[in-house]
Amino acid sequence: MRYIFVLTCSLALLTACTQSQNKNPEAKVVTTSKPSVLSSQSDGDPLLGLPAVPIPNDNLQTPEKISLGDKLFHDKRFSIDGTVSCANCHDAKKAFGDGLAVSLGHHDLTGTRNAPTVINAAFYTSQFWDGREPDLEGQSKQPFVNPVEHGLTDHEVILEIVRTDTDYQTAFSSIFGVSGKQVSIDHVAKAIASFERTIISGNSPFDRYYFKGDTKAMSDTQVRGFKLFIGQGRCVSCHTIEQDHALFTDNRFHNIGIGINDIQQDVPRLAEAFLQAKNKDVDVDIMVLTDKKSSELGRFAITNELDKVGAFKTPTLRNIEMTAPYMHDGSLKTLKDVIIHYHNGGVTPASAKVNAYLSGGIRPLNLTEAQIDDLVAFMKALTSPEYAQSSANTTIN
C-alpha cells in the first residue's frame, strides 16, 4: 500500500495519505517493472535505482491480495493478548522499523534482534538476520508463534479469526477460492508477503546522482562519502551497487564483530549445545530469539558452517538514516558509531578484542575524522523522499 500511495499521491499530499489507511479504491497498480510513465513527473520515478521486484510464480500480485495483506499486517488480534500486529515492530511511521534496539513483543517482552525494515525486504534472497527463511512467505509465519513476539502457541488462533470474520471470509474466498478449513496459514502468509512486496522504495539523492546523472542531487560531502564508500571504506564489497541498480546488499552473511565479541570464550560450548539441541528438533526460531548468547552464533545456527559463526545478513542501506539503532542487535546508536566500528576493524570500542571468526573482509580502515563524517553524510543520501518526509516528526537520531 505504501507503494501504491506513492503512485497515486503527489508529494504535497504524501503526509495526509500516510495517515489515511490507504483505502483509495483506485489504488490497484501493481507491477514488477518500473513504471516509466512516472519518470516524467517532477519528483521522479519512485523506484529509481531498484531492479524489478521478484514475484514468486505461486504468489502473483493482485490488488485484492495486497489489500488483504495490508489488513492482516495490521491485525493485533493475531497475538496472545491482542496487542501485537506486524506493524508494531514494522511501523510505517518509523520507516517500517520500530526505532528500538531490540523489538518489544507481548507484555513488553524483548527478543534478541533489531527489527529490520520491511522497505525493500522483497529484494532479499533470504529473510531474517540469519537468513533462516528463504522468502517473505516463510518469514511472515514465524513471529506469530514466537514466545517473545506475538506469543501464540500455534497458528490456530489466526486461522480461527480469518475463517470466521466475515470480511476475511469474503477476501480469502475471492482471492484464493478457499473457505472454512481450507484457509491455511500459507494463505495468510501469501497475502502478507504480497503486501510487503509493495513496500519498495528508491529514488534517493544517490539514485538521482548515480543513475540519472544529477550532479546536484548530493552535497559535496556526500559525493566525497560515496567515493570513500566504493574505495577506502571498502563498504561496496558487501553493500553492492550495480550498473543499473543498487540494493546495497550482497545477500551474504558476514561476521563483522557485533554481538560475538562479548561471548568469544563461550562459543565452543554454545556451538556444541546448540547443535545438540537442534538435533533434538528444538525450534531454531525460538532458540535464537529467546537466548541472547545462542542468538550471537548467527548464520552458523542455521547452516552449521564454521565460517558462519557470528555472521549475519548484509542489510540494505536504503533509508538507513531512518532506521536507527543499527546492527542485528541494535547495539550501535548512530551511523557514526557504525562507521567507527568498521574503521576500528570490527570492534567497538577500539580497544576491544577482535573475534577469531571475523569475516575476512573486515579490517581497520585508517579513516580520518573528516572521512568518517563524509561516509555518514553519504548514508543520509540513501533516503527515499517519502521516508524523508515521514521522518520529520520522529525522534530518530
Partner 1 sequence: MSTTNRSRRNFIKNTSALALGSTLPISMIELAFANSNENFTFAYISDSHIQHIKGTRFVRNWDQGLKRAVAETNLLTPKPDFVMFGGDLAQLGSKPELDHGAEILSAISNDIHYVMGEHDYYLDLGAYWEKLFGPQYYSFDHKGVHFIVLNSIRTYDEWTYNRWPSNEQRMLEMAGLDNPNGSPFMVGNEQRKWLNNDLAKIAKTTPIVVFSHSPLQKIYKGWNFWTEDAEQIQALLKPYNKVSVIYGHVHQIQYNQIGNISFHSVMATAWPWPYPSTYAQAEQYLPQLTVPMNRADPFFERDATGWQFINMANGNVDLNFTLNSNKNRSVKFNNVNKRPEDSQFQEQGSQIPPQTHY
Residues that bind partner 1 (CB under 8 A): 234, 237, 264, 267-268, 271-272, 275-276, 279-280, 304-307, 309, 345, 354, 356-361, 363-364
Q: How far is the CB of 248 from partner 1 (least distance, A)?
A: 16
Closer CB to partner 1, 213 or 268, in the complex: 268
Q: How far is the CB of 309 from partner 1 (least distance, A)?
A: 8
| Interatomic CA distance for residues 56 and 63, integer angstroms | 16
- Cβ 276 to partner 1, closest distance in Å? 5
Closest CA to 254 of 230, 227, 271, 234: 234
- Residues contacting residue 70 through CB under 8 Å, at least 6 positions apart: 1, 22, 195
Q: Closest separation between CB of residue 8 and partner 1, Å?
A: 42
Torsions phi, psi of 178, nearest 5? Answer: -125, 155
Which amino acid would we find at residue 222? Q
Residue given cell 527478543 in the structure block:
111
Q: At what angle do helices 220-229 and 369-379 cross, to 10 degrees?
A: 100
Taking the complex as a whole, the smallest distance from the CB of residue 273 to partner 1 amounts, in Å, to 10
State the nearest-atom distance from the C-beta of 374 to partner 1, in Å: 21
Helix segments in 280-315, DSSP class H: 284-290, 292-295, 300-303
Closest C-alpha among 307, 313, 276 to residue 294: 276
Q: What are phi and psi of 206, to 5 degrees?
A: -60, -45
CA-CA distance, 200 to 55, in Å (whole number)?
13
Q: What is the DSSP letter of 106?
A: G
Whichever of 286 and 354 has its CB closer to partner 1, that residue is 354
Residue nearer to partner 1 on the CB measure, 212 or 363: 363
| Residues paired with residue 281 on neighbouring β-strands, in sequence order | none
34 to 10, 59, 160, 193: CA distances (angstroms): 18, 19, 39, 20
Q: How far is the CB of 56 from partner 1 (least distance, A)?
A: 27
* Closer by beta carbon to partner 1, 268 or else 349: 268
Would you say the C-alpha torsion 190, 102, 358, 121 has a positive or negative sign? positive
Tell me whether residue 181 or residue 280 sits nearer to partner 1 (CB atom). Answer: 280
Q: Which is nearer to partner 1, 161 or 277 (CB)?
A: 277
- Closest to partner 1 by CB, 92 vs 311, is 311
Preceding amide of 349 cis, omega within 30: yes
Torsional sign, CA 241, 238, 118, 31: positive
Q: Which is nearer to partner 1, 58 or 281 (CB)?
A: 281
Closer to partner 1 by Cβ: residue 15 or 304: 304
C-alpha separations of 141 from 107, 149, 189, 297 in Å: 20, 12, 6, 23
To partner 1, the closest distance from the beta carbon of 369 in angstroms equals 22
Count the residues in the chain. Answer: 397
Identity of residue 249: T
Q: How far is the CB of 342 from partner 1 (least distance, A)?
A: 14
Of the pair 218, 362, the CB lying nearest partner 1 is at 362
CB of 265 to partner 1, least distance (A): 10
Rounded-to-integer distance, Cα 380 and Cα 229, Å = 13
